[in-house]
Structure 1
């Protein structure tokens, strides 16, 4: 099993396994059939408030990650996270995000949680 993070705009690769979109909103300019998304669990995405706070530059990535992990502990998010964890337990999973810097996004926090 491996969990990787990629931009949703990048072409699908054979080693991607299950492709999971982890953004709340559908990526701009991307046709749904071109994205090759297998799952879209919106409940594992950061809240609109947290996302806006982080993108406004009001806090560090580390603080964002802490707040996001706290959100993931809530019932609905926790259940959705368990679903993604179950997928990862069966094989390769690629977490897809539209973020221009996926290494400093919520997708990387999710990948870390799934691998632990």
Structure 2
């Protein structure tokens, strides 16, 4: 029973906002991170537009390199992507790349389209 009350030290959650150029900050993900942090789960919001230098013509190699860097620096157990209908294919690709980089990461998708 004691094991059920313990939290692993490396319980990290990374929430990713797909590249959306000219849009607002991902306030929905910021709210979720606030809740996760209040429950003791170290979390981060990653707005990919920022990390891709707001370049809508980014290459697949650049996306993979950015995601590899995010995974290396955060060592997450969970990666979530928030998607609207217009982001569904890029969100799916982001999660596929994350699994290719580390098959042990739990990936999930939320937001308006999936839910």
TM-score of the superposed pair, with normalisation by structure 2 = 0.44
Larger strand share, 1 or 2: 2
Larger helix share, 1 or 2: 1
Flag the structure with more relative contact order, 1 or 2, with Cα contacts below 8 A and sequence separation at least 6.
Answer: 1
TM-score of the superposed pair, with normalisation by structure 1 = 0.43
Give the greater-gyration-radius structure (CA): 2
